[in-house]
């Protein structure tokens, strides 16, 4: 009842108000009171609209352009000598027109298109300024504003998968220049084997050389197969990895790996190493490019064909940088130098393996990463979209937030658009990884 009464009173009030205004004469318009413009009167600038508002847009999205019209309402020529923005965030605005200076005759106008594209998630407020010879308004300012909208937060989840059974074949360059590099592997191999032990893997590990000229080598294992049942696997492997530097200078890593994993050696000298259900990881250590007749593509195709599931095969390499190679000095003052290992690097890319520069003074992290790669694990998780603000990215492992840190945390790899884990923060087998990051919304 009270609501109906209120409505009736409102209607009555509106009717009375309408009747009151209807009895009055209409108000005078500006045209009725303005004095006529005569030739010779001063120029009079007019800018419409008085302000511009572009609202909110996702970062790097262009707003629909808005039109600003400048006209001369005076009796003499209007000379506009500058059209420019002033204020913070000028890079987000642009004005497209015929430029300045320009002249408008009495009654003439000119339109300008104003664009706005936010390049950050902040608020923008500038002035579009027109300076002219108008004696009363030498400078007309048109406020223009907009803001970069908050991006949506996108979440990606991963599970750190791994293979419980792994066969690892090391192919070691034993030519004249390799003693320092072999020493690095020997000194840091504990980092490699510790990962295997902590994962509880069922592994086989063996070593061959790149020497295909010496009949006693040519893909033959340099000692017994090292496994998880070996009494001291680190010591056993180190005894094999240190192959000296008296081997052939015609390094043929691809040929050596193929010879080691095919007949007749597979059933004789190297029997019992390659298992049907285990994953296979081939790792080359060399300071020269491969001189085998087969290409990287041919080798990758052959290696992946050893398993019914090609995903279970990886080829990794510690070799020279692509192209001209590399040079570095280790902690002991030794020179680490290498020619470009382009064929090896190509094979790592084709099989999803890991490449690391041999010219590195500390192999500890490289060997840790290699052990994870060999087990089918990864330290790098690719993102579906490009983050719009790295400062807002969060990374968790099993619900625990991981710091953005290059030693024991995560970093963002720009070239691969991926999250890269380091040190103690590398997810373990079966761990759940969640990456939450802002993504620019779709442009209107």
Q: Looking at residue 11, what is its pLDDT?
A: 28
Greater model confidence, 9 or 390: 390
> Please, which pLDDT band fits residue 329 given cuts at 50, 70 and 90?
low
* Lowest-confidence segment of 32-36, 190-194, 242-246, 382-386 by average pLDDT: 32-36
pLDDT at 171: 95
> 24 or 41, which is more confident?
41
Residue 34 predicted with pLDDT over 50 = yes
The DSSP string of 370-422 is HHHHHTT--SEEE-SS--S-GGG-EEEETTEEEPB-TTTSEEEETTTTEEEE-
HSE toward the beta carbon, residue 332, CA cutoff 13 A: 9
3-class DSSP state of 229? coil
Q: Quick check: helix, strand or coil at residue 256?
A: helix
**Which of 144-148, 182-186, 227-231, 399-403 has the weakest average pLDDT?**
182-186
Output 178 or 117, whichever has higher pLDDT. 117
Query: Has residue 334 got a pLDDT over 90?
Result: no
β-pairing, 139-148 vs 152-159, is unpaired
Query: Average pLDDT in the 425-432 region?
Result: 89
| Distance, CA of 423 to CA of 411 (rounded, Å) | 11
SS3 assignment, position 207: strand
DSSP, collapsed to helix, strand or coil, labels residue 315 as strand
CA distances from 385 to 121, 349, 413, 419, 437 (A): 18, 22, 13, 12, 9
Mean pLDDT of 173-198: 74
Can you tell me the distance from the alpha carbon of 231 to that of 308, in angstroms, rounded to the nearest whole number?
32
Per DSSP, the three-state class of 220 is: coil
Note the helical H segments in 221-309.
233-241, 253-260, 296-304
356's tokens: 């690391």
Q: Would you say 377 and 431 are in contact if contact means Cβ atoms under 8 Å apart?
A: no
pLDDT at 7 over 50: no
Give me the domains of the chain, ranges plus CATH numbers: 35-150 (2.60.40.10), 158-378 (3.40.50.410)
Kindly tell me if the per-residue pLDDT of 405 is higher than 80: yes
pLDDT on residue 343: 97
- Residues 301-320 have a mean pLDDT of 94
- 361/375 Cα distance (integer angstroms): 25
- pLDDT score for 313: 95
β partners of residue 109: 71
Residue 5 has pLDDT above 60, yes or no: no
Residue 412's pLDDT is: 96
What is the C-alpha separation between 368 and 359, in angstroms, rounded? 17
The two tokens of residue 84 are 């420019």
Q: Is 333 helix (H, G, I), strand (E, B) or coil?
A: coil
Span of 63-67, 132-136, 367-371, 399-403 with lowest mean pLDDT? 367-371
Q: How many CB atoms lie within 10 A of CB 380?
A: 14
Dihedral, CA atoms, 223, 224, 228, 229, nearest 10 degrees? -140
**Interatomic CA distance for residues 307 and 295, integer angstroms:** 20
Stated as kind and residue range, the H or E segment containing 87 is strand 78-88
Greater pLDDT, 194 or 387: 387
Does the pLDDT of residue 375 top 90, yes or no? Answer: no
Q: Which residues contact residue 279 at a Cβ distance below 8 angstroms, ignoring those fewer than 6 apart?
A: 163, 165, 166, 167, 307, 312, 313, 314, 374, 375, 376
Write the CA distances from 414 to 163, 293, 349, integer angstroms. Answer: 29, 35, 17
Q: What global pTM score does this model have?
A: 0.59
Confidence of residue 27 (pLDDT cuts 50, 70, 90): very low
- pLDDT one-digit tens code per residue, 335-365: 667 889 999 999 999 998 889 888 877 777 7
Max CA distance (Å), the chain: 118
Answer with the residue of higher pLDDT: 282 or 8: 282
Tokens of 63: 């707003």
For residue 331, what pLDDT is reported?
A: 57
pLDDT digits (tens, 9 = 90+) for 46-104: 999 999 988 877 878 888 899 999 999 999 999 999 999 998 788 899 998 666 789 99
pLDDT of residue 24 exceeding 60: no
pLDDT the model gives residue 283: 94
307 has a pLDDT exceeding 90: yes
**d(C-alpha 377, C-alpha 195), whole Å:** 11
| Distance separating alpha carbons of residues 266 and 260, to the nearest angstrom | 6
The confidence score (pLDDT) of residue 138 equals 94
């Amino acid at each position: 009842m009270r609501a109906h009464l209120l409505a009736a009173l409102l209607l009555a009030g509106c009717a009375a108000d309408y009747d009151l205004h209807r009895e009055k004469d209409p108000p005078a318009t500006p045209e009725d009171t303005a004095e006529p413009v005569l030739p010779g009167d001063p120029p009079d600038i007019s800018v419409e609209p008085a302000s511009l508002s572009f609202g909110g847009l996702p970062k790097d999205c262009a707003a629909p352009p808005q039109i600003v019209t400048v006209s001369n309402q005076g009796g003499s020529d209007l000379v506009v000598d500058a059209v420019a923005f002033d204020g913070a965030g000028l890079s987000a605005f642009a004005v497209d027109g015929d430029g300045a200076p320009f002249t408008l005759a009495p009654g003439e106008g000119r339109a300008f298109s104003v664009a706005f594209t936010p390049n950050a998630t902040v608020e923008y407020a500038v002035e579009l300024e027109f300076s002219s010879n108008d004696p009363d308004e030498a400078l007309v300012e048109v406020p223009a504003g907009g803001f970069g909208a908050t991006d949506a937060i996108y979440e990606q989840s991963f599970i750190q998968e791994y293979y419980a059974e792994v066969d690892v074949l090391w192919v070691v360059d034993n030519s004249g220049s390799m003693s320092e590099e072999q020493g690095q592997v020997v000194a840091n191999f504990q980092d490699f084997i510790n990962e295997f032990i902590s994962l509880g893997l069922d592994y086989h590990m063996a070593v061959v050389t790149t020497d295909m000229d010496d009949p006693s080598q040519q893909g033959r294992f340099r000692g017994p197969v090292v496994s998880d049942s070996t009494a001291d696997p680190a010591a056993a492997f180190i005894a094999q990895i240190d192959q000296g530097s008296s081997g052939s200078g015609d390094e043929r890593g691809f040929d050596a790996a193929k010879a080691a994993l095919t007949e007749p050696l597979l059933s004789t000298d190297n029997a019992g190493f390659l298992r049907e259900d285990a994953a296979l990881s081939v790792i080359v250590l060399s300071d020269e490019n491969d001189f085998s007749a087969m290409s990287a593509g041919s080798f990758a195709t052959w290696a992946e064909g050893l398993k019914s599931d090609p995903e279970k095969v990886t080829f990794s390499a510690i070799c020279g940088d692509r192209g001209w190679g590399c040079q570095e000095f280790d902690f002991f003052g030794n020179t680490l130098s290498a020619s470009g290992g382009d064929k090896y690097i190509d094979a790592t890319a084709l099989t999803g393996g890991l490449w690391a520069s041999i010219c590195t003074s500390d192999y500890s992290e490289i060997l840790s990463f290699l052990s994870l790669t060999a087990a089918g694990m990864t330290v790098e998780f690719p993102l579906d979209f490009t983050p719009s603000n790295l400062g807002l990215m969060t990374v968790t492992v099993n619900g625990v937030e991981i710091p953005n840190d290059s030693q024991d945390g995560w970093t963002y790899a720009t070239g691969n658009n991926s999250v890269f884990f380091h040190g103690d923060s590398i997810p373990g087998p079966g761990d759940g990884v969640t990456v939450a990051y802002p993504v620019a919304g779709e442009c209107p």
